[in-house]
Amino acid sequence: MDAMVRELSYAQAIQEAMAIAMDMDERVFLMGEDIGVYGGAFQVTGDLVERYGTERVIDTPISELGGAGVAVGAAVTGMRPIFEFQFSDFATLAMEQIVNQAAKMRFMLGGEVSVPVVMRFPAGSGTGAAAQHSQSLEAWLGHVPGLKVIQPATPHDAKGMLLAAVADPDPVMIFEHKLLYKMKGPVPEGYYTVPIGKADIRREGRDLTIVATSIMVHKALEAAAALEAEGIDIEVVDLRTIRPMDKQTVIDSVKKTSRLMCVYEAVKTLGIGAEVSAMIAESEAFDYLDAPIVRLGGAETPIPYNPELEKATVPQVPDIIAAARELVKGVR
């Protein structure tokens, strides 16, 4: 019998996944800033400290570099830490441990250790938090062999991919868009995993493939629904994992639709869209393209405070609609 499916928010789904992981494996524990009685800056850990105690839900000092290193050291020596960064921007303080240590330790030691650490990064703009609390830095980490980098877009995937991350022997970086935390969706009860490295076709279509990540998946779906009335049939591929990337799903989709658009919130240049575009250009799907590839990414600017400016820095539904219409019909 299928597990009971309920509506949970994205944040609740993550919290449930962490609770299940801790119930199943005593090596799993949580670390982060203000994740205990405060419940986490975005209330993702919520009341877990009451259920699992301060031994397994550990408030760290405001020490991102040291804290990340402690998580790496614990992972290498037998524990399964889940480390929460309060904002993904603060990864910049911990880059040394993430990039030089977590990602490379297994390799440098010739396979003698694994680093089963999970790091969670609340990311993205839209909360009025301005330039240092709104960035999308997933491509930075996606550039590092040794790391796995995922961006679940739905409550269902947030739970299943977190449980897959905890079971994974290698370091998994999870970028969670802050605006998704309150989004609700169907989530099965109990344990299940959603595989890392597998994209998902959220909507099938014939005319255009939109490869989107995280919150942009929802915006792309909204745009696709709007364009249906105009007879434009869009396929939306939720990339879900940016390293290792599920190339085949994207290639197959582009071969079917002959058009590709990449939609992502991070700064457009040198980002995920560049990688997906180049990957398609190098693949057999290149011969199937009927139009140039289009990238919709973030503006070449830090995220501004003013709400109208803030919105203008990242792709919005009307931008996607306009770009898709032009790509398919040649007119705006």
Partner 1 sequence: MAGASKAVADSRANLPFVYRQYSAEQLKQVLHKMYLIRRFEEGAEECYTRGLIHGTMHLSIGQEASAMGICMPLAEDDQITSTHRGHGHCIAKGAEVKRMFAEFFGKTTGYCKGRGGSMHIADVAKGNLGANGIVAGGIPIAVGAGLSSKMMKTGKVVVSFFGDGANNEGAFHEALNMAAIWKLPVIFVCENNGYGMSTSTARSTAVKNIADRAAAYSMPGVIVNGNIFSEVAEASHQAVARARAGEGPTLIESKTYRHRGHSKSDRNRYRTKEEIEDWMSNRDPITLFESELREFGFIDDKGIEAIRDAVAQEIADGIEFAKASPSPDIRTVQDYVYTEQA
The mark string for 35-74 relative to partner 1 (x by CB under 8 A, - otherwise) is: --------------------x----xx-x-xxxxxxxxxx
User: Which residue in 112, 287, 300, 308 binds partner 1 (CB under 8 A)?
Assistant: 112
Q: Are 134 and 309 in contact (CB under 8 A)?
A: no
Q: Which is nearer to partner 1, 113 or 179 (CB)?
A: 113
97 counts as binding partner 1 under rule CB under 8 A? yes
**Bridge-based pairing state of the strands 80-84 and 208-212:** unpaired
Q: Which is nearer to partner 1, 146 or 205 (CB)?
A: 146
64 is catalytic: yes
Q: To the nearest whole angstrom, how small is the minimum distance from the Cβ of residue 165 to partner 1?
A: 13
133 is catalytic: yes
CA dihedral 252, 255, 259, 263 (to 10 degrees): 10
170 counts as binding partner 1 under rule CB under 8 A? yes
201 counts as binding partner 1 under rule CB under 8 A? no
Q: How far is the C-alpha of 62 from the C-alpha of 322, rounded, in Å?
A: 44
* Residue bearing tokens 């709400």: 307
169 counts as binding partner 1 under rule CB under 8 A? yes
Q: To the nearest whole angstrom, how small is the minimum distance from the Cβ of residue 68 to partner 1?
A: 7
Q: Are 84 and 42 in contact (CB under 8 A)?
A: no
Report which secondary-structure segment, H or E, holds 22. helix 10-24
How far out from the chain centre does Cα 123 lie? 9
Other Cβ atoms less than 10 A from the Cβ of 252: the count is: 14
Q: Which residues are catalytic?
A: 64, 133
Would you tell me which residues interact with partner 1 (CB under 8 A)?
A: 27, 29, 55, 60-61, 63, 65-79, 81, 96-97, 100-101, 105-114, 145-146, 148, 169-170
